[in-house]
Each structure stands twice: as structure tokens, then as C-alpha cells.
Amino acid sequence: MHIYMDDSGNIEGQGKVYVWAGISLYNQDKSLTNALDPIFSGFNNSPGYREKKGMDATFKEMEAVFRCLTGFSTLRISYLVVDKSLVTSNQKTFVKGAVSKDKEQSENYFLSKVVKRLSFPYDSNDKHVNLIIDGSPSRVDSVNRLHEYLSVRINYPDWNTSYSWNNFKVVYDPGVNNRLLQAVDFVANLILEYYKLMEFASKKNPIEVRKYCALYSILKPKITHRLYRMKGISVL
């Protein structure tokens, strides 16, 4: 199994919403990469970047990527949406004064919520998870720390009595034009903008509502879990 993850929004920065989104695939990652490559190759790079970013994508570009994703039978999507006003300063930093450590721990906590759902096995005999995360780790030992944390989170949930993962590989990928990570970036950005509009906008432009609802509806059949930390609907 392969899981690709990206976040959108900054847990410590401006804005009202923080998102982690991920996709999982079972033996279709190379085929999906090949299908996405000609689509992304036709896009212009976002200003200031060496690749196309979801924050700069048009409706048609988003639509093309999402329709490609949903055409793959084993693809699953899971995401987490956090109202940042519900996240305390302690939860954002965990350890005061540990600049390289604080944000990473908070991000890992929310990331783990999504990975736990996506790691449900496609095949009971398969014990391999390859987790690829967009970006670079904060510390030299970040991969080992995240590996240990996720192994506990996944193998010891209350409801899990039937399987365990014994080969869990974590990779941070800071490169550009990884088509699967680009696709997850598009998904994460759509989720961020969708909830910003639907939950926090004081005035809703009907054209924007139709656009984001149309894009969300493309992804919806592949969404297996939605996790919220929102006022009145928290399930974390």
C-alpha cells in the first residue's frame, strides 16, 4: 500500500482552517503517475514555484486532476479539517522554546488521524505501508520519530483486533513534480477552500459555491473518512 499526504494552511499562521489530506493506493501508484503526468505537464508552473500548485489552479485544472484520480479503483481519500480557533496555543506548540520541534509534533498528531484511516489494509496478507509526505522534516530524526508514533497509532486503536503493520516506511519528499504529491496538494487545497467558504465566509458568492461544490462532488465517491475538529461537529 502507498499513502501520499499533504497539508494545507498553517497550524500557527494566518487563516481559520488547517487541513491534512491523503490518498491511498494498492498497486496502482505507477499507473496513476503515468496518467497524471500528461495532465500536469500541460499546466504552467505557479508563480514562484517550479511546479503547479493547487492554490493557483483553475477550475478546469482541478477538474482534470480529480477526474483522473477518481478513475482508479483502489484509490481512497481521507482528510481532516481543523477550526484553528479550537486549537490551543499548547496544542500548537507542545514544547515551549523548542522551535524545530513544536510545530512538527502538532502536525504529526493531526497527520496520524488521517493515516490511521487510510492504512486499513486492502489485502489482509499485505503488511507493507509506504507513506510519502510532501515536504522536508524539521529534524534529522523526524522520520524515525514519526515511524514510531504512527506504528503505535495504527497498531493499537481500540477497534483494531484483526491486523497489524510490521513494515511501515516513512519518506519525506521535498522534490517537485511528483505527480501523486501534486495531486494530493490539489486535494488538500480544495478541501481547505471548500471549508473556508462553507463554514467561515460571512458572504457566499453563488458562483464560488457552485464551483467548489462541483469539484468536491467529483472526489466524494472516493472519500472514505472525514475528520473534523469544528464547532458542534468535532469527531477527533
Taking only the tens of pLDDT, the chain with its 236 residues reads 999 999 999 887 788 999 999 999 999 999 999 999 999 999 999 999 999 999 999 999 999 999 999 999 999 999 999 999 888 777 766 655 555 455 677 788 889 899 989 988 888 777 788 999 998 876 667 787 787 778 777 776 666 666 666 677 888 899 999 999 999 999 999 999 999 999 998 899 999 999 999 999 999 999 999 999 998 888 87
Identify the bridge partners of residue 77 per DSSP, sorted by sequence position.
Answer: 23, 223
Q: Provide the pLDDT for residue 159.
A: 61
Q: Provide the pLDDT for residue 158.
A: 63
Residue carrying the nine cell digits 511546479: 51
Domain ranges of the chain: 2-229
H helices of 126-172, where? 142-155
Q: Provide the pLDDT for residue 160.
A: 62
Q: Provide the pLDDT for residue 149.
A: 78
Domain made up of 2-229: CATH architecture: 2-Layer Sandwich (3.30)
- Residues 219 and 226: their CA atoms lie apart, in Å, by 12
Given a contact cutoff of 8 angstroms between Cβ atoms, the answer to whether 76 and 224 are in contact is yes
Given a contact cutoff of 8 angstroms between Cβ atoms, the answer to whether 90 and 14 are in contact is no
Q: Provide the pLDDT for residue 94.
A: 61
- Residues 85 and 11: their CA atoms lie apart, in Å, by 10
Q: Provide the pLDDT for residue 126.
A: 77
Given a contact cutoff of 8 angstroms between Cβ atoms, the answer to whether 175 and 185 are in contact is no
Q: Provide the pLDDT for residue 108.
A: 83
Cell matching residue 38: 500528461
Residue 104 has phi, psi (to 5 degrees) of -60, -40
Given a contact cutoff of 8 angstroms between Cβ atoms, the answer to whether 90 and 105 are in contact is no
Cell matching residue 91: 496544542
Looking at residue 62, the DSSP 8-state letter turns out to be H
Please tell me the total number of residues recorded for the chain in this structure. Answer: 236
- Residues 31 and 181: their CA atoms lie apart, in Å, by 14
Residue 164 has phi, psi (to 5 degrees) of -150, 155
CA 57 from chain center: how many Å?
17
Using CA atoms, how far residue 27 sits from 2, 123, 133, 200, in Å, is 8, 11, 18, 39
By CB neighbour count within 10 A (0-12 exposed, 13-18 middle, 19+ buried), where does 120 fall?
middle
